[in-house]
Each structure stands twice: as structure tokens, then as C-alpha cells.
Chains A and B, each alone.
Chain A
Amino acid sequence: MSAPVLTEQTVPPVAPAPVKRSWHGYLRQPSAALSVLVLLVMVVMAVFAPLIADEPVGAGSDVLHSPSGAHWFGTDDLGQDIFAQVVWGTRTSLVIGLAASVIAIVLGTAIGLASAYFRPIDAVATVVTDVMLALPTLPLMIMLAAVVSPSVWTLTMIIGFFAWPEVARLIRSQGLVVSAMPYIDGARVLGATGWRIVTREILPAVVSLVIVSVLLTASRAVISEAGLSFLGLGDPDAWSWGRILLNAQRSGVIAIAWWQTLFPSLAILLLVLSATVAGMRFNDTRDPRRNGG
């Protein structure tokens, strides 16, 4: 009864106290707490990268050294520190991950809600969403990224643009449930406009789903970014995890410098895993079937 839930029994207006309690409950789950911690560490690493490690520049004399006290993650074929590259890569990966997911969320939520409430829009939007979902995204992203000149900004746009349909479909299905509820009819009888109903009545009811989507979409965006950078379509001036992998592959050192592929891959794995787990646990806490709401 307490938590705002998303099934037929939902009473959408959200009271502050239960929110606090559910956050607390959420963080009491070890897996959720751990994932949030990992995400926080990543964010700290991205924000304070210049304090943690010098930006990898120039060429050093320690070429292809394995991990040691001086170089925690070893060095690459130019003698640059892999640890510094991974730390600086966190910036690009997080920025692209978050920014792309914001684009996807804004587009996806708008389209999802619009099609949930306005029937004429639904017909068109559903078809567009299905078409977008059916497109082979990776090849298309590769094509686009090859045509435009690669930069953090263009990558973000491309990845964000291809990630919205899944959000839209999720939000629409939840929006359909909510818009069929009696209180929506009530609002309409009281003379509320469509805009007001969508933004004030339906949106708050799906907002927790939006939060979950942000996390999941961001983690997918991080993978896409790493993939595109690995294929050489990333921003050549910005460090990214995919670019470290590309450097290893291109200079033919995969066989002799395992550290150059292992650590950035671990970073990707950690970020994606913790974002996914954090999102799923968050979804669980909000799910009435789990907390007996």
C-alpha cells in the first residue's frame, strides 16, 4: 500500500516518506549497494580524473611493460600508462553513456507517453518504433559514424538516436495501463487538458520506470561507444575504453600485452554490470509483487 506501484491498484501521487523508505530498502540489498558504490566510484574517477592520473600524452621509454608498482595496469606500445588511459576513458564513456541515454529517454518517454494517451499518434508511433527496433543498429551506427566526422558529440547523438525505441515501447506499455485507470477519467471529467493529464498524471506514475531505463540505456550506450571506438569510429582526440582496445589490436600486441585489453574490458564489464544490477534492483523495490504492496 505504501509504495507507489505500477499495477492496477496504483495510487499515483507520491508521498515523500515512502520514497525515503524505499531508497533505504533499496540500498539495504547488498547487490544494489555494491553496484551503486561501483557507479559512484566511476563517477568520482571521471570527475576527478586529472587528480588521479595525468592525461596520457607524449611517448615514454617504458614500452609494453607489464603491470607493476609504477604502472598499475602496465604500459602500451608508446610507453603510456594504461591506468591513466582507463581513468581518462571513464570520462568519455560516462559522458557518452549518460548524454546518449538522456537523449534516448527524452525522445523515448515523449513518444511513449504520447502514444499511450493519444490514440491517433499511437498508430504511427508504434509502427515507427517497431521499424526502429527491427533495424540492424550496429551496422547503421557504423555507417553513420563513418560519414560524419567522429567526435564525442556526434557519437552521443548517434547512439542516443538509436536507443530511444526500447524506452518508448517500455513507457508506452506502462502508460497504457495507467491511462486506463479511473483517476485519469476523473481528471478528464474535471476538464484537464491532454497535456496536463500526460505530464501531471501519467508521467509521475511511470517515472520510476524512466529511472530504470536511464541506467539500462546508459549501460547499452557505453557498450555501443566502446564498440564504435574499437572499430575506429570513436573520437580520436578523446580517451575511451574502446580506443585502448583498438590501439592494442591495431599495433598487433594482443598476444604479448594482455594487460592492454584486460583492464579496459574489465572497466566496461564493471560499469555495465553495476548499472544493470542497480537498475534491476531498483525496479524490484518498486515492484509491488515483491514488497507485498
Chain B
Amino acid sequence: MKSTVKGRWRLAVALGVVATLGVSGCGLNEDNASSSSSSGDSVLRIGTTTDVSNFNPLQSLSKTDSWILNAMYPHLLRIDENAKKAPELAKEYRYEDDGKTAVFVLRDDFKWTDGKPVVADDVKFSAEMTMKYKLGNVAAKLTWVESIEAPDATTVKFKLSQPYAPFAEGVGFWMSIVPKHVFEPAGDLSKFPNDSNWVGAGPFVLDSMTKGQRYVMKRNENYPLAPGGKAAVSQVEYRVYPDVNTMMLALRNGDIDLMGTPVPVSAAKTFEGDSKIKMEKVGALGFAHLTYNMKNKFLADQEVRQALSMSVDTKSIISAVLQGDAQEMAGPISPTFSEYDNSEVKPYAFDPAGAKAKLTAAGYKDANNDGFFDELAFGVACDQSNANMTRVVQLFRESAAKAGIKLKNECVERNTFLSRTKSGEYDIDASQWGVFDNPMDQLRSTYLSSNPGGINYNLLESAEIDKLINDAAGTTDPEAFKAKIKNLDKVVHDQAYLTPLYVENFRFAYNASKFTGFSPSPSDLLGMVTAYSLAQVTPVK
């Protein structure tokens, strides 16, 4: 008790001092007229850092968007706590016709909140509209679809132009199923805002919102994946806290019950000694990486990329920035996909002197003797709101200097960073992949020259890599498929198109004295707030 009071005083002083600066960047929003007393403890209040920017589940989504929309619109498959695909709306799926037809069998007990059942036609409609208007990242996953059939209410058949092993997993996990009878009258779905009168079939459906403050979701009285046929919590409320410090304080004060955003590793101590707050740890489905722009004359040189990879001290980054709570990786395939990760591939060892020798051998010179190779100066772009990445870039810049490579820290404001990433205005991109649900989709979207997923940040155009990827994509035999992915893992590693940094763990904090029963999935995108997890939560009596 004593220590909390002291802690609060410290915080008050610290916040006061920051406030005296007269800087108005972070809004300490939130009216504290708490609504918790009105309907008891069955309102689960979740903190998030941003507003919902898009309510159309078929389009690209930010984190808050997908949290809220995924609770409303079911998916065929979900990712469970072991990072494996589990059934959600689909009971099962199989391939027919030598892998050229993917068949999903749906459950028959999902219902839209307006009473209509969720049927195969809804799935067919969702996929067709996504293809027609090329919506979101799902459109790229539907590339091979030639036609879709819904022979009865619970069967959907995707006819493919060629076999593609991870098709069902990719589409099943990523595609939101929307109600045809509500979305069809809207016409052009690329312009449909879907920002009122929501009809969903998830455990919760949006009811009202106040932008910048809260999003209130009411329980769906019929959700078959919840233990009692409907969620135990009657209402879920997302509250917006732009600043993570404020959000942590709100959790401690009981203004919210769960932080949707992970607790920064440096701040984990905040909740030490608070018996009510519990932390739940999950793994990642993506990883942090440095990606080299192949359009840069010098970065197009394999020797330079390898030398850069040798000048990143990933071990000390993991121990300092992530306080040891992360895994090292090599090559583009994360150890999360243990069956596909090539264990022969080892990370480039941290060796700035070796990197320097390598570059000298490759003919790079330091004519003006300033300790840096004359031509090797690169900018490292990152999103400055990402605490870990800014730290990584800071350390990378220092260690690369030892290898004679001059780096400029170009961590900029988030929107500037995103627009630069989009237009390829960077030398080295330091960022984090959020969720890859399978390695084949990952390799396709990150290395194909046609850039179907829009995230080929290398801007790589290599006929050889294209051939290897397309060859793997058409392989149906599981063992041959694995071998081809492992080979790609090695080729990309040898080419050093990227330097993978770490696969981190995420910590989510919640008030265990009020709610229990979360079923967390890996990654910070899924975490504690998947539809399935929210449906399992029960209030503590």
C-alpha cells in the first residue's frame, strides 16, 4: 500500500514535470467518469492506443481496426495458443482434385445478430468481393482462385488454377466473412464505410462509439464457440489511450481491465508488487528485421549486405533492448515455423573487424582516412514511435561504425516512415513484420518481383528467386515442399537480403481480480483480444 502511494507520487511529479514543458503531443484523454459501476463487472474494458480508422473488415486494417472487427466478423480459421490453425467458422477443410480444389465445411450454428444464419453464400460473397475490388491483403491470397461454389449452406469450394499448399490456411485465417444480405446492397465495397448499424456474427458487435474515447461492443446472444453458447461478459468496451504510460496507470487504477497493447519490456516492473495485475506472455508470429534496398547501388552488392549483417550485434540487442526476452533467428523463416526453418542456417556472427576486412577485400577504400569507407553511407529508416526499433537503430549505427560503415539514423514520425516505406525512399528499412501465418505466403509477399503483398521492401527483382518461389508454391508433396522452403531460407540468408534481428515475446497485462479465462494467441496483433479469447473470458465472482 505504502509503495503504491509513493509510486503514484513519483508518477505525479514526473508527469507534472513533463507537462510543464508545455508540449501538447500526447493527449491524456479520458474522462474519468467511469461507467464501471453501472452494469457491474461484466463490462470488460480494454485499452488501445489508436482509434478505429476503417470499419470495413474486407479492407486493410490497423491493429485497433482488426481487434474490433475480428470480434464482429468470423473467420474460417483462427490461430490458437500454439500458433496452429484451429477451426472457427469452418469445421474442417480438405483439398480435392490433386490440390486444385479447396473445400471448407462450415458449422451450421453461427448466426448474424439480425437472426439470419451464417451460410456458405456469405463466404462466397466475401471472397468474390475481395477479388473483385482487390481489397486488403487477402486479395493477393486469392490469386489462384478461378471460381467459387457453394453447393449447400455449409460447403464452400474454391477452384484453383494451380495447387497452392497454404491456400486454405492463408485465406481461412485472414479473410473476414461478412453478411451478404447487409453488404450486397452497399454496392462498391471498396467505398463502403460500414460505420453504423453493424450486423456481426462474432461474440461481440459494435454498438456505439465516441471517436478518440471509446468503442462499446454488445454481446452476441448466439456465439457457439463460447462455453455457454454466448460470451460470459455482456459488454466489451475499447478505450483509447494514445500514451502507453497513461494506459498502464489506467490499468493500475482500475479504469481498464486489460491492455490490448503489449507492456513494453522496460516497463514490466510497473506491475511488480501489484497482486491484482497479472501478465500473460505470448510469442510472436513475425520478427524484427533490417531489410536492404536493392535499388541502392552499394546495397545491391552481396558483400556489403553480408558485411552489414556482420556488424549487427543481435545478441546484445536482445539482451539490452529486449532484456533477454526474445529469440535469435537466421534467414527469413522464423523458428515459429519449426518444420520449415532451416536449422543449418546460422546467424552471421557479430564481427565488425571481419566485416571491415571483407569490404576491403571487395575493393572498398577509405581514401580520406576518416575510418569510414568512402562510398558506404546509408540511412536507416524506422518508425520513431517504436521504442525497440529506435534503440536497435541507435546500437546498429554505433556497431556499424566499427566496421567502417557510416549509418544515419532516419527514425522519423510514423506517417512519414510509412509513406517513405511505400515509395521505397530508404536505404535500410528497420521494422517489424507483424503476422506471417505461413512461410510460403511470407516468401511470396516479401521476395517476388511482382510484389503481390506490397511488402517486398527489398524492392528485389530476381528471376532466380522468383523461379524458386513459384516452384515451391506449386509443390503439393509436403516433404518436397518443406525442402524447397528450407532451400529458400538458405538462399535468402546467403544473399543477406535481410538481417533478421529477433523474435520477441509480448506481455499483456490484465486485472486478474476481475476477469479470468483468456485464451491468448501469439503475436501482438492477436494477443488476448481475439474473438475466441474474448468469448472465453469470465468475470471473477
Give A residues with C-beta under 8 Å from B: 57-60, 63-64, 77-79, 138, 146-147, 149-150, 223, 226-227, 230-233, 236-237, 242, 245, 247-256, 258, 261-262, 265-266, 268-269
Contact of B411 with A236 in the complex, beta carbons under 8 Å: yes
Residue contacts A-B, CB under 8 angstroms, 10 given: A58-B395, A63-B320, A146-B412, A149-B412, A223-B22, A232-B384, A242-B21, A249-B18, A253-B266, A265-B20
In the assembled complex, the Cα of A293 lies from the Cα of B378 at a distance in Å of: 62
Instruction: Pick from A245, A249, A256, A269: contact of B269, CB below 8 A.
Output: A256
**Dominant SS at the B interface?**
helix
A216 to chain B, nearest CB (A): 16
**Size category of the binding interface on chain B:** 35 or more
A63–B267 CA distance with the chains assembled, in angstroms: 11
Chain A residues, Cβ within 8 Å of B14: 248, 254-255, 258, 261-262
Q: Is the CB of B26 within 8 A of A249?
A: yes
Alpha-carbon distance A233/B417, docked complex (angstroms) = 12
A157 to B398 CA separation, bound complex (whole angstroms):
27
Instruction: Collect the chain A residues with CB atoms within 8 Å of residue B11's CB.
Output: 254-255, 258
Candidates A57, A59, A223; contact of B321 at CB < 8 Å? A59
Stretch in B240-248, B286-294, B352-360, B454-462 with 4+ CB within 8 Å of A: B240-248
With a CB–CB cut-off of 8 A, which chain B residues contact A236? 384, 390, 393-394, 409-411
Cα-based distance from A29 to B18 in the complex (angstroms): 32
A-contacting residues, B1-57, CB 8 Å = 7, 10-11, 13-15, 17-18, 20-26
Q: Chain A's nearest CB lies how many Å from the CB of B26?
A: 7
Among A147, A227, A261, A262, residue most surrounded by chain B Cβ atoms (within 10 Å): A261
- B416 CB within 8 Å of chain A: yes
Interchain nearest-CB distance for B252 vs A (Å): 8
Cβ distance B439 to chain A, nearest Cβ, rounded Å = 32
A interface footprint on B387-401 (CB within 8 Å = 1, 0 otherwise):
100110111011000
Would you call B470 an interface residue if the criterion is a C-beta within 8 Å of the partner chain's C-beta atoms?
Answer: no
- Check if B18 sits within 8 Å of A77, measured CB to CB: no
CA distance A57 to B18 in the complex (A): 25
Distance from A60 Cβ to chain B, minimum over Cβ atoms (Å): 8
A79's partner among B17, B320, B384, B409 (CB-CB below 8 A) is B320
Residues of chain A within 8 A (CB-CB) of B323 are: 63
CA distance A265 to B18 in the complex (A): 7
Residue of A nearest to B416 (CB): A146
In the complex, which residues of chain A have a beta carbon less than 8 angstroms from the beta carbon of B266? 63-64, 77, 251-253
Residues of the A chain whose Cβ atoms lie less than 8 Å from the Cβ of B395: 58-59
Cβ-closest chain A residue relative to B261? A252
**Which single member of A146, A147, A242, A262 contacts B17 (CB below 8 Å)?**
A262
Q: In the complex the two chains form, is A252's CB within 8 Å of B387's CB?
A: yes
Chain B residues, CB < 8 A from A250: 385, 387, 390
Is B264's CB within 8 Å of the partner chain A? yes
Q: How far is the CA of A64 from the CA of B244 in the complex (A)?
A: 18
Cα separation A231 to B248 with both chains bound (whole Å): 20
Given contacts A64-B266, A232-B413, 19 further A-B contacts (CB under 8 A): A58-B395, A60-B320, A78-B321, A146-B416, A223-B22, A226-B23, A231-B25, A232-B385, A232-B411, A236-B394, A248-B14, A250-B390, A251-B387, A252-B245, A253-B264, A253-B270, A256-B267, A262-B14, A266-B17
B408, A237: Cβ atoms closer than 8 Å? yes
Which chain B positions have C-beta within 8 A of A261?
14, 17-18
Given contacts A232-B384, A232-B385, A237-B397, contact A249 B243 (CB under 8 A): yes
Report if B279 contacts A (CB, 8 A): no
B160 at the interface (CB under 8 A from A): no
| Residues of chain B lying within 8 A (CB to CB) of residue A227 | 21-23, 25
A77: chain B residues within 8 A (beta carbon): 266
CB proximity of A284 to chain B, nearest CB, Å: 26
What is the minimal beta-carbon distance from A250 to any residue of chain B, in angstroms? 4
Q: In the complex the two chains form, what is the Cα distance from A64 to B267 in whole Å? A: 10
Identify which of residues 286-343 in chain B touch chain A, using a CB-to-CB cut-off of 8 Å: 316, 319-321, 323
What CA separation (Å) do A223 and B21 show in the bound complex? 7
A254→B245 contact, CB < 8 A: yes
A237 to B409, CA, bound (A): 6
A252 touches B248 (CB 8 A): yes
CA–CA, A227 and B22, complex, Å: 8
A60: nearest chain-B partner, CB-CB: B320
Whether B491 is near chain A, meaning CB under 8 Å from some CB there, is no
A255 to B: closest C-beta gap in Å: 5
Q: Which of chain A's residues has its CB closest to B262's CB?
A: A252
Interface residues of B (CB under 8 A from A): 7, 10-11, 13-15, 17-18, 20-26, 243-245, 248-249, 263-264, 266-267, 269-270, 316, 319-321, 323, 384-385, 387, 390-391, 393-395, 397-398, 408-413, 415-416
Q: Which residues of A contact B409 (CB under 8 A)?
A: 236-237
In the complex, what distance in Å separates the CA atom of A230 from the CA atom of B393? 18
Contacting residue for A252 out of B7, B264, B390, CB 8 A: B264
Best-buried of A223, A226, A236 by chain B (most CB within 10 Å): A236
Q: Are B413 and A233 in contact (CB under 8 A)?
A: yes
CB distance from A162 to the nearest CB of B (A): 15
Q: How far is the CA of A251 from the CA of B384 in the complex (A)?
A: 11
Inter-subunit contact B15/A254 (CB<8 Å): yes
Q: Give the residues in chain A near B26, CB-CB below 8 Å.
A: 249
A226-B21, A231-B23, A265-B21 known; A256+B413 contact, CB < 8 A: no
B22 lies within 8 A of A255 (CB): no
Cα distance, A230 to B22, chains bound together (Å): 11
**CA of A269 to CA of B7 in the docked complex: distance in angstroms?**
24
**Assembled-state Cα–Cα distance A189/B17 (Å):** 58
Q: Report yes or no: B21 in contact with A245, Cβ–Cβ below 8 A.
A: yes
Is there contact, CB below 8 Å, between B7 and A256? Answer: yes
B508 to A: closest C-beta gap in Å: 14
* CA of A232 to CA of B385, assembled, Å: 8
A138:B267 contact, CB within 8 angstroms: no
Query: Contact at B270–A252, with CB atoms within 8 Å?
Result: yes
Q: Which residues of A contact B410 (CB under 8 A)?
A: 149, 236
Which 7 pairs between the two chains have the least Cβ-Cβ distance? A59-B320, A77-B266, A252-B267, A236-B409, A265-B17, A252-B264, A232-B384
What are the residues of chain B within 8 A of A230 when measuring CB–CB? 18, 21, 23, 25
Residues of A within 8 A of B416 (CB): 146-147
A146 to B416, CA, bound (A): 7
**Cβ contacts under 8 Å, A150 to chain B:** 412
- Give min CB distance, B317 to chain A, whole Å: 8
Q: Which residue of A lies closest to B382 (CB)?
A: A236
Closest residue of chain B to A232 (Cβ to Cβ) is B384
Report chain B residues within 8 Å CB of A63.
Answer: 266, 320, 323
Say how far B372's CB is from chain A's closest CB, in angstroms: 14
Q: How far is the CB of B314 from chain A (nearest CB, A)?
A: 12
**CA of A290 to CA of B425 in the docked complex: distance in angstroms?**
60
In the complex, what distance in Å separates the CA atom of A109 from the CA atom of B149? Answer: 77
Chain B neighbourhood of A245, CB < 8 A:
18, 21
Interface centre among B249, B266, B413 (most CB of A within 10 A): B266
A230–B395 Cα gap in the complex (Å)? 20
- Contact partners of A79 in chain B: CB under 8 A: 320
With a CB–CB cut-off of 8 A, which chain B residues contact A223?
Answer: 21-22
**Max chain A CB contacts within 10 Å: which of B11, B395, B398, B412?**
B412
Task: Chain A residues near B412: list those with CB within 8 A.
Answer: 146, 149-150, 232
A266 to B16, CA, bound (A): 12
CB-defined contacts of A254 to chain B, threshold 8 Å: 11, 14-15, 18, 245
Contact, CB under 8 Å: B22 / A258: no
